[in-house]
Chains A and B, each alone.
Chain A
C-alpha cells in the first residue's frame, strides 16, 4: 500500500518537474495566432479596418473582437485565407469596405510646398523629402494606403492605378466557348 503510494507520488513529482521545466524553457511569447493572421494580412497599414495598422487588427481578430471582412486591400481572397486559418465561414465585404483597384500615391512635385505632413503620415516611410524641400514617393515601397492624401494642405497627392506593363503583365484565365450539347 505504502510502496504503491510512494511510486505514484514519485512519478507525479517527476512528471510535474518535467512539465514545469518545459513551461519555462519552451515558453511561447505572445499569441502565435496573431503572427499567423498578421502574415495573411496585406500589410498596407492603411487603417481601413478601424485599427492603427495590420498588427492591431490581427490582434483584435485573434481575440475575437472583430469580423474578418474589414480588410479591403486583402480582397475576397484575404477573407478566404482568414476563414481557412481560423476555421470559420467566409463572409462578404460590407457596403462601406469594398475593395478598390490597387494604386500607388503620386506627388505632383511642382505643387508640393515641402510641409512634411505626408512624410509623418506614411506608415512605411515610403516618402522622402525635408522641410521646404520637394517630397517624392518611393514607388516600390508605397503600399497604396492613401494615408498621405488627407494631410496634404495643397492637395498635390493623387492615387494612380498601377498601369499594366510588360513586367507585371499576367496571363489571363482561359476564355473559350465550351460546346457540350452536340
Chain B
C-alpha cells in the first residue's frame, strides 16, 4: 500500500458525474460534415497537405506537423475536402481559424494502416510514429505526446497515468477505463517502453470504483508490475503537479517540467490512443466525449474529431431552457461562441448549460481580504494579492508573486464570498505579460537589425572611400611609372649622342 500525500488546498464541488455514466460509450452516426481545425494542439499549427476537392480516405494525413512542438492532423472519415477556410472554432475569443471542411461519403473507407509490434521498434521510431499519428494529450492541454516523451527520455523513472478526472460532470476517462482498460494498460506499456521508466503508477480518484476495478484486473491480466493507486476525490487532484504531489510527495519546482524531477504524466485517454497508433497504426481520429447537462440522455460518445458540437447535442436530446454550451468542465471549461463549432482532440466534455444548472453569478462585491482563496489554492499562491496586482495592472509584481504557476483551476473563484471572477483577472494579466515579453523580444531584434544596418552603411562608406583612395593611388603610381619609363629613353638618347 502506497502512502499518499496531500497538496495544499482544494475544494469539493458537487461531482455531477453519475448522470453520464448510466450508459455505455455510444457510437454517434456519421455527421453531415466535419470541420477539422489545423491547430488542435499546443505549439505550431499543422500545414495543410490536401487541396480543395481532394478525395481523402479515413486516416489519411491532411495536416503535416510543422516545427518541434506540433502534431499531425488526419481525415476522420473518407470523403471529399469541400473547402480549406477559416471557421469559428472552440476558442474563448470566438475568432475563426483555418479548418478543412470534409464531406463524408458514407463509406468510411480506411487508408492502409501499418500494424507493428512495439518491441521491434526503437523508442525514437515509436516517437516519430506518435507524432505522425497526431497523438496529443487528451486531458485538456493537447500537448503533443511525442514532445513530452522526447523531453522525458533517459530522465524519467516514474510514469504516471492520470485517471483522476477531478472536474465535475466529466466522465470520459472514467467510462474509457471501465470499458477499455486492457488497451489503456497496453498503451502505458508502450509509453513506459519509450521512456524506459522503472515504475508505472495509475492514479484514479476513489469516486470511480468500477474504473479502479477494471484497471486492476487489466493490470493483473497483463502481468505488468503497474500500480493502480486510489487517491482521494478532491478538486483539482487531477492537475499534473497536484497528482505528482499526492502520489510521490515530490513537488515540481516553479517554472520546471515534471520530466526534470524524473516523472512524466499522461492521461489515460492518451495512453489509449498511443496504443491504437502503434499497435494498429491508426491515427487519432476520434475521442470519447461526455455530453451532459441539460440533455435528455447524458452519455459518452466516441465521436470523430471535427464533429460539430450541435450534432452530438442533438443525439443526446437537448432539453428546453438551455442558455449556452460549455466545452470542458464547469470549473475550467469555456463558454462556446456557438454550438456549431467542431469537436477537437482536447474536447473532453460538452455541457449544455441552463439557468437551473448554472444560475447567473450574484453581483460582484469588493474583496474583503478573507483569504479563503489562499486556503484553497492548490499551488500555494496568494490569490488575493495576485488579484490586486492584476486589477491595478502591476504585472511585474504579479510575476514576482508567481502568477505563472497559477493553473487557472478556479478554486479561488469558487470559494470567493464576494464572487470576484479571479481567474479572469489572472488570465488577463498572463496574456498582457506574454504580449509584453513578445514585444520586448521584437524590440531587441529591431535594435539589432538597426545597429547592423548602421554598421553596414558605415562599412560601405569606408569601402567606397578605400576603393577611391586605391584608385587614386593606382592613378598616381601609373603616372609616376609612366614618367619613370620615359626617363631612360631620354638617357638612351643622351647616350647615343655621346
- A positions within 8 Å CB-CB of B: 38, 41-45, 53-54, 123-126, 140-141, 143, 164-166, 168-174, 176-180
Task: Name the residue of chain A whose CB is nearest to the CB of B427.
Answer: A171
Please give the distance in Å from A99's CB to the nearest CB on chain B.
Answer: 14
CB pair B428–A169 under 8 Å, yes or no, is: no
- In this assembly, does B365 line the interface, its C-beta being within 8 Å of a C-beta of chain A? yes
CB pair B365–A143 under 8 Å, yes or no, is: no
- In this assembly, does B430 line the interface, its C-beta being within 8 Å of a C-beta of chain A? yes
Please give the distance in Å from A126's CB to the nearest CB on chain B.
Answer: 7
Please give the distance in Å from B159's CB to the nearest CB on chain A.
Answer: 33
Contacts of B296 on A, CB cut-off 8 Å? Answer: none
- In this assembly, does B461 line the interface, its C-beta being within 8 Å of a C-beta of chain A? no
Contacts of A174 on B, CB cut-off 8 Å? Answer: 421, 424-425, 428
Contacts of A177 on B, CB cut-off 8 Å? Answer: 363-364
Name 22 interchain pairs, CB-CB below 8 A, sorted by A: A38-B447, A43-B447, A43-B450, A54-B450, A123-B453, A124-B453, A125-B453, A141-B449, A143-B442, A164-B95, A165-B97, A166-B91, A166-B97, A168-B435, A169-B431, A171-B92, A171-B428, A172-B428, A174-B421, A179-B364, A179-B365, A180-B365
CB pair A165–B453 under 8 Å, yes or no, is: no
Contacts of A176 on B, CB cut-off 8 Å? Answer: 363-364, 421
Contacts of B435 on A, CB cut-off 8 Å? Answer: 168, 170
| Interfacial residues of chain B within 461-481, with CB under 8 A of chain A in the complex | none
Contacts of A123 on B, CB cut-off 8 Å? Answer: 450, 453
- In this assembly, does B452 line the interface, its C-beta being within 8 Å of a C-beta of chain A? yes
Using A124-B450, A169-B95, A173-B428 as known contacts, list a sample of 8 further A-B pairs with CB atoms less than 8 Å apart, ordered by residue number in A.
A45-B450, A123-B453, A124-B449, A141-B446, A164-B95, A170-B435, A171-B424, A176-B364
CB pair B452–A125 under 8 Å, yes or no, is: yes
Instruction: Please pick, from B93, B364, B432, B443, the residue contacting A169 in the complex, using a CB distance under 8 A.
Output: B93
| Interfacial residues of chain B within 419-458, with CB under 8 A of chain A in the complex | 421, 424-425, 427-428, 430-432, 435, 439, 442-447, 449-450, 452-453
Q: Bound complex: CA of A165 vs CA of B96, how far in Å?
A: 8
Query: DSSP class of A's interface residues: helix, strand, loop or mixed?
Result: loop
Q: Bound complex: CA of A151 vs CA of B91, how far in Å?
A: 42
Instruction: Please pick, from B95, B421, B431, B443, the residue contacting A43 in the complex, using a CB distance under 8 A.
Output: B443
With known contacts A44-B446, A180-B366, A165–B425 Cβ distance under 8 A? no
Please give the distance in Å from B296's CB to the nearest CB on chain A.
Answer: 33
Tally of contact residues, B, Cβ under 8 A: 31
Of residues B93, B421, B444, which shows the largest number of chain A Cβ atoms within 10 Å of its Cβ? B93
Task: Name the residue of chain A whose CB is nearest to the CB of B447.
Answer: A43
Please give the distance in Å from A52's CB to the nearest CB on chain B.
Answer: 10
Task: Name the residue of chain A whose CB is nearest to the CB of B428.
Answer: A171
Contacts of B384 on A, CB cut-off 8 Å? Answer: none
Q: Bound complex: CA of A173 vs CA of B424, how far in Å?
A: 8
Q: Bound complex: CA of A169 vs CA of B93, how far in Å?
A: 7
- In this assembly, does B307 line the interface, its C-beta being within 8 Å of a C-beta of chain A? no
- B positions within 8 Å CB-CB of A: 39, 89, 91-93, 95, 97, 363-366, 421, 424-425, 427-428, 430-432, 435, 439, 442-447, 449-450, 452-453
Task: Name the residue of chain B whose CB is nearest to the CB of A124.
Answer: B449
Contacts of B424 on A, CB cut-off 8 Å? Answer: 171, 174
With known contacts A42-B439, A169-B95, A176-B364, A143–B428 Cβ distance under 8 A? no
Contacts of B97 on A, CB cut-off 8 Å? Answer: 165-166
Task: Name the residue of chain B whose CB is nearest to the CB of A40.
Answer: B443
CB pair A126–B430 under 8 Å, yes or no, is: no
Q: Bound complex: CA of A174 vs CA of B432, how far in Å?
A: 13
Contacts of B93 on A, CB cut-off 8 Å? Answer: 164, 166, 169
CB pair B431–A171 under 8 Å, yes or no, is: yes
Of residues B439, B449, B453, which shows the largest number of chain A Cβ atoms within 10 Å of its Cβ? B449
Q: Bound complex: CA of A44 vs CA of B425, how far in Å?
A: 30
Instruction: Please pick, from A54, A140, A173, A180, the residue contacting B447 in the complex, using a CB distance under 8 A.
Output: A54
With known contacts A44-B446, A178-B366, A170–B431 Cβ distance under 8 A? yes
Q: Bound complex: CA of A123 vs CA of B454, how far in Å?
A: 9
CB pair A124–B91 under 8 Å, yes or no, is: no
Q: Bound complex: CA of A144 vs CA of B191, how far in Å?
A: 48
Contacts of B431 on A, CB cut-off 8 Å? Answer: 169-171
With known contacts A43-B443, A171-B428, A176-B364, A53–B449 Cβ distance under 8 A? no
Q: Bound complex: CA of A126 vs CA of B442, how far in Å?
A: 12
Q: Bound complex: CA of A108 vs CA of B393, how far in Å?
A: 39
CB pair B363–A178 under 8 Å, yes or no, is: yes
Task: Name the residue of chain A whose CB is nearest to the CB of B37.
Answer: A166
Instruction: Please pick, from B92, B421, B430, B446, the residue contacting A45 in the complex, using a CB distance under 8 A.
Output: B446
Contacts of B430 on A, CB cut-off 8 Å? Answer: 171
Please give the distance in Å from B423's CB to the nearest CB on chain A.
Answer: 9
Task: Name the residue of chain A whose CB is nearest to the CB of B451.
Answer: A55
Of residues A124, A166, A176, which shows the largest number of chain B Cβ atoms within 10 Å of its Cβ? A166
Please give the distance in Å from A87's CB to the nearest CB on chain B.
Answer: 17
Contacts of A53 on B, CB cut-off 8 Å? Answer: 450
Contacts of A180 on B, CB cut-off 8 Å? Answer: 365-366
Please give the distance in Å from A75's CB to the nearest CB on chain B.
Answer: 10
Please give the distance in Å from A166's CB to the nearest CB on chain B.
Answer: 5
Q: Bound complex: CA of A45 vs CA of B445, how far in Å?
A: 12
Question: Nearest 7 pairs between A and B by C-beta?
Answer: A179-B363, A43-B443, A43-B446, A171-B427, A174-B424, A170-B431, A124-B449
Q: Bound complex: CA of A18 vs CA of B89, how far in Å?
A: 68
Of residues A42, A124, A164, which shows the largest number of chain B Cβ atoms within 10 Å of its Cβ? A124
Q: Bound complex: CA of A166 vs CA of B427, how far in Å?
A: 15
Task: Name the residue of chain A whose CB is nearest to the CB of B456.
Answer: A125
Task: Name the residue of chain B whose CB is nearest to the CB of A74.
Answer: B443
Please give the distance in Å from A40's CB to the nearest CB on chain B.
Answer: 9
Contacts of A140 on B, CB cut-off 8 Å? Answer: 442
Task: Name the residue of chain B whose CB is nearest to the CB of A120.
Answer: B457
